[in-house]
Structure 1
Amino acid sequence: MTTRRMTVSQALIEFLAHQWTVDGDHRERTIAGTFGIFGHGNVSGIGQALGQLAHDEPGLMPYHQARNEQAMVHESVGYSRMTRRRSTFACASSVGPGATNMLTGAALATVNRLPVLLLPSDTFATRVSDPVLQQLELPQDASISVNDAFKPLSRFFDRVQRPEQLFSAALGAMRVLTDPVETGAVTIALPEDVQAEVVDVPAEFLADREWRLRRPRPDAGVIAEVVRAIRGSSRPLIVAGGGVIYSDAAAALRTLVESTGIPVGVSQAGVGTLPWDHPQYLGSVGATGTVAANRAAAEADLVIGIGTRYGDFTTASRSAFQNPGVRFVNINVASFDAAKHGSAIPVVADAREAIIQLNLGLAGHRVNAGFVAEYSHQKRLWNDVVDAALAPSGRDLPSQSEIIGAVQAASDPRDVVVAAAGSLPGDLHKLWRARDDLGYHVEYGYSCMGYEIAGGIGVARADSTRDAIVMVGDGSYLMMHTEIVSAVAERIKLIIVLVQNHGYASIGHLSETLGSQRFGTQYRYRDAHGAVGSGDILPIDLATNAESLGIRVIRVEPGPGAIVDLAEAVADAKASDRATLIHINSDPLLYSPDGQGWWDVPVAEVSTLDSTRNARAEYVEQRKSQRAYFGPS
């Protein structure tokens, strides 16, 4: 057998460069490149291997410098979603804090079921120098390092304690990265001494290897049951999730709903599965849903979930579906999700393959014309509400809805709006009018503050023919704005719309509805009595902060023409070939239209505050709408 003598790091990096994902007739690199921040754990291991390969075979494994370990994971996840989970990046860190900085990114990837490969360095396998700098010591278990914290956050975890273990660890990692059911964060911990050790590497390990994405077809008998259930339903509703997008099933879904007339509500991850103006598209469903979708959900006798994991925002904390006889047909590649809510008919299959079979089985079937007229009327009413919310008001400080309207008006159909945390995801879910199935990128499985800019860079890397428009509030911006430097350094075009509202707008509003009066949610001085956040607004200039990082900045000044100026700024940014940040002030007390959804956030049972007692009474009343969702089988 032909072998090569290489270090463990050299072998791993070259192995990753030869892995390919195959999805039907589509083939692309599974690991598009490697992010790395180097320290004493990996500078002579992974760092050396990347540098050597860049010298010997430039382009075989592209290296990208990051400014924050968490951010490089977010960037990889943003890239992965845009490639429909076919491709991602590897992220290499040093020992200790460099490694644990990636924990939040690992959780985000696994929650959202998006692949990313993490390569945290670990302390010496030989223990010859224990304790090394940044090593965690636990007297009761000498085998534990900080990297063990990745175990509950990873879909696959391994630690290469001996060079020979690399082969099984690497192949196991690739298996999970390319599995639509199992995918998420994949972690291979690499002790710093092992990274630099030599191993005889078989030529086969370094050869091109293809990993074919599984697209399981549904059982014919189960599909026949689903067809009977739909034909027997008077008020069916499809809830489309991210699985529709990942399986590239938007076209098949459109054919299905156009032929049958079944309306569609979408989760956060499912926005874009139909264009916003499609007759069967009712918009978002659940806690941040539209009135049209939520009314259809409340009365639905059959809910057909396709590629959704039914998070609490989608089900409005199990209050969305109120029909006493409601049944669930859940189509999902993961049996775990297919069986949720006591599904009458769980369908374990790829979304596109299942929809194709439904199109065949439902040929000639169409829902009642009266039902179509009813939900179409609700759709028109909601569109009128959105039109009014998005229109400029002429206020000196516009609402966030108006800001969304200006960005929407200046964007192109294939542009991608990116958001993650705060009040923007809820408002975008209700108000953004997606025109492309990849045009809406809101990370809401983990809703991670700080994701936006890094995730937006990942979106821009994945498809340079689209403009990535990041919408971020000042709270999230302050969490992780330094990745702007990465966009500038690599000449990545990115448009950032920074909404300045001097605090945490989303939690401020939530706090108020729960009777806590926005405590601890505003960026203000302490007042004369020492109360937190009750004094004057802080003299923060985030536009100047952004300029100091090298990005082009456009300031939209407060005034009656702010929204018109914002639309012009977005058009200006789109015409530029540089990364641009647009700074605009908003009024956080102006809210988007109510969509008749609810979210279960418990209120204190006892309190000395009248506001809390009143909120508790309202909460008790709202909880009466929660249901177990176990309909007749």
Structure 2
Amino acid sequence: MAKTVRRTVAQALVKFLNNQYVEFDGKEVPMFEGIFGIFGHGNVVGIGQALEEDPGHLIMRMGRNEQGMAHAAIGFAKQKRRKQMYACTSSVGPGAANMVTAAGTATANCIPVLFLPGDTYADRQPDPVLQQMEQPSSLTVTTNDAFRPVCKYWDRVTRPEILMTACINAMRVLTDPAETGAVCIALPQDVEGEAWDYPEYFFKKRVHHIERTKPSDRAIEEAAKLLAGKKRPLMIFGGGVKYSEAEETFRKFAEKYGIPFGETQAGKGTIPWDHPLNMGGLGETGGLAANTLAKEADLVIGVGTRYTDFTTSSKWIYQNPEVEFLNINISRFHAYKMDGLQVVGDAGAALSMLDAALGKTGYHVSDAYAADIQKAKSDYAAEVDRLFHLEYTGDDFVPEVNDDFDFKKAAKEFLKVTGGAMPQTRVLGVLDACMDEDAIVVGASGSLPGDLQRAWCPKSKGSYHVEYGFSCMGYEVNAALGVKIAEPEREVYALVGDAAYMMLHSELPVSIAEHKKINVILFDNMTNGCINNLQIGHGQGSYGTEIRFRNEKTGQLDGGYVPVDFAMNAASYGCKSYTVHNAEELKAAIADAKKQKVSTLIDCKVLPKTMVHGYGDWWRVGVAEVSKSEKIQKVYKDLMKPNYDAARKY
């Protein structure tokens, strides 16, 4: 009979988490560095008691908002390339519900996070307990059921012994490269404190091996045959390459055969931007080089990509009638996309096997295609340089986006209110010139991810951290804390719009408390810029997307811009803060921020409607088929219908 030890459910859970390890390519690390938590009546005397009494090596970090702290956990795991992670615990009810958005962010981006929300009483004796969501149709339903659609695994520990199977299955999913994402184990608050005689083997050291799963020989043979017959192949560097730590294998493969590659948001920043075969961002938020080559590619080799609508430009950008797809992915689900040839396996292992098979054919791209690649790269570099040096010159300034609106009026009003007149890409240009080469940028929502994918120039590995699977407003500042915890020796810069900052920056004061310095570069344009541009580009006006006072005369939100002193807000938390209006002030602020030991915020007054847009891309949007507006009618006729028809073949 197995030896047992009596522990509460919460104590057993903490002990179990302490003994989980991950091994990849011979390197073994503890799976969990710690737990982010906000304690309430549903978990403070359960998990809280267990952590206070015997935390082991787990670090408890106190969050300020449940969604914010969970975004920090995602940022940590993403920066650690999914080899280490945090758990997140909250009370039952609103605390748990706050984490649901973050769980969706984790799952959409395939990032492992363990959610441990408190739950209502399993024995139901005190029902309705504080914060309980009563459902007359079923008393088994609680707030935590909201986690089900946004998690890769979900369980509820209604008896102490259930913890064992719940934990083992949670580890199975968290360490599976093909299935990882958010995992939720709901913990009824009475059960958290109940004791049981757990077998000692449950607490033994477990090493979870992340294998380099090899694809079948048959798939490799078919892939080599397909590639050998193509003249204009284009590779996609997806997040799967990064998490596989296969960037060197990918780079050598591309160099050996002369194949250019475009980057997804998850893949960008792994191979430096100036590599001659790196064509930069691809698709709807792609840049000049990758999108130019994509339209004529006869083979798209998607390595570790989910083929999101932005990567494929709503399945439109690959326009060569003869184009085919070769999909290398650890996930069979993703490998089947775009009706491509499926090579199911680890990115590094698959590319090595494909190299061995393709090398026998003597394949290499033609000199003519190599010349096209070189020209595309040269044009791309020149375009980035142009964007980085744009300056507002008054009435003769032409914005990068649609000119079908009164930009001059908006610019003059903004300048009058703020005194700032920097185009958005000029701010990026200053940052590019002034930041250390190993500094990390963090982004997620609004117009910034598009401008970053099109124009940002990562110079070192792991320096680009943008969440764009869920495009979750409020990820930026909070995830930057997680990134700093993951790599404390590097400077971390959260690039965030004003609206996203106001939506959620809860862990900025946590960065002060934890002595984890982050730098917030806040783009204040008094507008939800990305969506404002989307409206205007599809025939509408600026309705409900500019941050304006309500006009008493019209009853609408069309009064003046609403000014906000973001620097003062950050200073109230203990940050060193700055307000800048031009490039010289920004340069000085960055230089001073580098000297600080506490977190900083630089409030940049950025001209509205100056995001970058349009390098031969298309994104399917539900444009009104019937409208009183002639502009909208024209957009539907000229843009929506023909492009939608062109994309329907997939």
TM-score range, shorter chain: over 0.9
Stretches of 4+ moved more than 4 A in 1? none
Quote the RMSD (CA, aligned, Å).
1.4
Q: What is the Cα deviation at residue 507 of structure 1?
A: 0.6
Quote the Cα distance in structure 2 between the aligned partners of 1:518 and 1:205: 59
Quote the Cα distance in structure 2 between the aligned partners of 1:201 and 1:578: 45
- Correspondence list, 1:411-430, <5 A: 411-430=435-454
Would you say 1:47 and 2:43 are equivalent positions? no
Matched to 1:595, the amino acid is Y
Matched to 1:197, the amino acid is E
Matched to 1:257, the amino acid is A
CA contact (8 A) 1:386 1:593 kept: no
Residue 600 of structure 2 corresponds to which residue in structure 1?
Answer: 580
Q: What's the secondary structure of 2:427's corresponding residue?
A: helix
Matched to 1:328, the amino acid is F
Query: Relative to structure 1, is the Cα distance of residues 70 and 624 closer, same or farther in structure 2, using a 3 angstrom cutoff?
Result: closer
CA contact (8 A) 1:419 1:470 kept: yes
- Gapped regions of structure 1 (runs ≥ 5): none
- Correspondence list, 1:298-317, <5 A: 298-317=295-314
Would you say 1:404 and 2:428 are equivalent positions? yes
Q: What's the secondary structure of 2:647's corresponding residue?
A: coil
Residue 160 of structure 1 corresponds to which residue in structure 2?
Answer: 157
Would you say 1:492 and 2:516 are equivalent positions? yes
Q: What is the Cα deviation at residue 392 of structure 1?
A: 5.1
Q: What is the Cα deviation at residue 615 of structure 1?
A: 2.5
Residue 534 of structure 2 corresponds to which residue in structure 1?
Answer: 510
Quote the Cα distance in structure 2 between the aligned partners of 1:249 and 1:625: 37
Q: What's the secondary structure of 1:389's corresponding residue?
A: helix
Q: What is the Cα deviation at residue 430 of structure 1?
A: 0.2
Residue 199 of structure 1 corresponds to which residue in structure 2?
Answer: 196
1:371 pairs, out of 369, 385, 388, with: 369
Residue 358 of structure 1 corresponds to which residue in structure 2?
Answer: 354
Residues 397-435 of structure 1: per-residue CA shift (max 9 Å, x gap) = 111111111111112222111000000000000000112
Quote the Cα distance in structure 2 between the aligned partners of 1:87 and 1:563: 39
Residue 278 of structure 2 corresponds to which residue in structure 1?
Answer: 281
Residues 265-306 of structure 1: per-residue CA shift (max 9 Å, x gap) = 111111124211111111111001112111211111111000
Q: What is the Cα deviation at residue 156 of structure 1?
A: 0.6
Would you say 1:136 and 2:133 are equivalent positions? yes
Quote the Cα distance in structure 1 between the aligned partners of 2:640 and 2:475: 34
Matched to 1:412, the amino acid is D
Residue 381 of structure 2 corresponds to which residue in structure 1?
Answer: 383
Quote the Cα distance in structure 2 between the aligned partners of 1:578 and 1:549: 10
2:485 pairs, out of 461, 481, 485, with: 461
Residue 589 of structure 1 corresponds to which residue in structure 2?
Answer: 609
Matched to 1:324, the amino acid is P
Quote the Cα distance in structure 2 between the aligned partners of 1:61 and 1:148: 27
Residue 256 of structure 1 corresponds to which residue in structure 2?
Answer: 253
Matched to 1:485, the amino acid is P
Matched to 2:386, the amino acid is A
Residues 151-193 of structure 1: per-residue CA shift (max 9 Å, x gap) = 1111111100001111111111111111101110000000000
Would you say 1:171 and 2:168 are equivalent positions? yes
CA contact (8 A) 1:94 1:121 kept: yes
CA contact (8 A) 1:420 1:449 kept: yes
Moved more, 234-243 or 574-583: 574-583
CA contact (8 A) 1:136 1:145 kept: yes
Q: What's the secondary structure of 2:33's corresponding residue?
A: strand
Moved more, 604-613 or 112-121: 604-613
CA contact (8 A) 1:68 1:483 kept: yes
Matched to 2:352, the amino acid is I
Quote the Cα distance in structure 2 between the aligned partners of 1:537 and 1:52: 52
Would you say 1:341 and 2:338 are equivalent positions? yes
- Correspondence list, 1:551-630, <5 A: 551-556=575-580, 558=581, 562-592=582-612, 594-624=614-644, 626-629=646-649
Q: What is the Cα deviation at residue 214 of structure 1?
A: 2.5
Matched to 1:164, the amino acid is E
Residue 263 of structure 2 corresponds to which residue in structure 1?
Answer: 266
- Correspondence list, 1:33-72, <5 A: 33-54=34-55, 57=56, 60-72=57-69
- Correspondence list, 1:186-265, <5 A: 186-265=183-262
Residue 530 of structure 1 corresponds to which residue in structure 2?
Answer: 554
Q: How high is the TM-score relative to the length of structure 2?
A: 0.93
Quote the Cα distance in structure 2 between the aligned partners of 1:621 and 1:41: 53
Q: What is the Cα deviation at residue 593 of structure 1?
A: 5.5
CA contact (8 A) 2:104 2:150 kept: yes
The share of aligned pairs that are identical, in percent, is 42
Q: What is the Cα deviation at residue 31 of structure 1?
A: 1.2
CA contact (8 A) 1:389 1:593 kept: no
Q: What is the Cα deviation at residue 590 of structure 1?
A: 2.1
Q: What's the secondary structure of 2:326's corresponding residue?
A: strand
Residues 237-263 of structure 1: per-residue CA shift (max 9 Å, x gap) = 101110010000111111011111001
Q: What's the secondary structure of 2:526's corresponding residue?
A: coil
Matched to 2:459, the amino acid is R
CA contact (8 A) 1:341 1:629 kept: no
Q: What's the secondary structure of 1:244's corresponding residue?
A: helix
Task: Number of aligned residue pairs: give it.
Answer: 621
Q: What's the secondary structure of 1:144's corresponding residue?
A: coil
CA contact (8 A) 1:261 1:280 kept: yes
CA contact (8 A) 1:21 1:212 kept: yes
- Gapped regions of structure 2 (runs ≥ 5): 394-419
Residue 412 of structure 2 corresponds to which residue in structure 1?
Answer: none
Residues 423-476 of structure 1: per-residue CA shift (max 9 Å, x gap) = 000000000011233111110000000000111111111011221111001000
Residue 80 of structure 1 corresponds to which residue in structure 2?
Answer: 77
CA contact (8 A) 2:620 2:640 kept: no
Matched to 2:510, the amino acid is S
CA contact (8 A) 1:21 1:28 kept: yes
Quote the Cα distance in structure 2 between the aligned partners of 1:415 and 1:353: 30
Moved more, 205-214 or 115-124: 205-214
Matched to 2:442, the amino acid is V
CA contact (8 A) 1:342 1:629 kept: no
Residue 542 of structure 1 corresponds to which residue in structure 2?
Answer: 566
Q: What is the Cα deviation at residue 629 of structure 1?
A: 5.0
Moved more, 383-392 or 192-201: 383-392
Moved more, 202-211 or 605-614: 605-614
Quote the Cα distance in structure 1 between the aligned partners of 2:645 and 2:434: 40
Residue 479 of structure 1 corresponds to which residue in structure 2?
Answer: 503
Q: How high is the TM-score relative to the length of structure 1?
A: 0.96
Matched to 2:623, the amino acid is V
Q: What's the secondary structure of 2:590's corresponding residue?
A: helix
Quote the Cα distance in structure 1 between the aligned partners of 2:611 and 2:463: 24
Matched to 1:580, the amino acid is T
Residue 401 of structure 2 corresponds to which residue in structure 1?
Answer: none
CA contact (8 A) 2:620 2:644 kept: no
Quote the Cα distance in structure 1 between the aligned partners of 2:464 and 2:17: 30
Q: What is the Cα deviation at residue 530 of structure 1?
A: 3.4
Residue 7 of structure 1 corresponds to which residue in structure 2?
Answer: 8
Q: What's the secondary structure of 2:646's corresponding residue?
A: coil
Moved more, 516-525 or 392-401: 392-401
Residue 321 of structure 1 corresponds to which residue in structure 2?
Answer: 318
Moved more, 279-288 or 202-211: 202-211
Matched to 2:450, the amino acid is G
CA contact (8 A) 1:392 1:563 kept: no
Q: What is the Cα deviation at residue 622 of structure 1?
A: 4.8
Q: What is the Cα deviation at residue 621 of structure 1?
A: 4.8
Residue 291 of structure 1 corresponds to which residue in structure 2?
Answer: 288
CA contact (8 A) 2:540 2:631 kept: yes
Quote the Cα distance in structure 1 between the aligned partners of 2:32 and 2:649: 41
CA contact (8 A) 2:392 2:423 kept: no
CA contact (8 A) 1:217 1:349 kept: yes
Matched to 1:286, the amino acid is G
CA contact (8 A) 2:269 2:461 kept: yes
Q: What's the secondary structure of 2:342's corresponding residue?
A: strand
Residue 103 of structure 1 corresponds to which residue in structure 2?
Answer: 100
CA contact (8 A) 1:317 1:626 kept: no
Quote the Cα distance in structure 1 between the aligned partners of 2:354 and 2:371: 23
Query: Relative to structure 1, is the Cα distance of residues 626 and 28 closer, same or farther in structure 2, using a 3 angstrom cutoff?
Result: farther
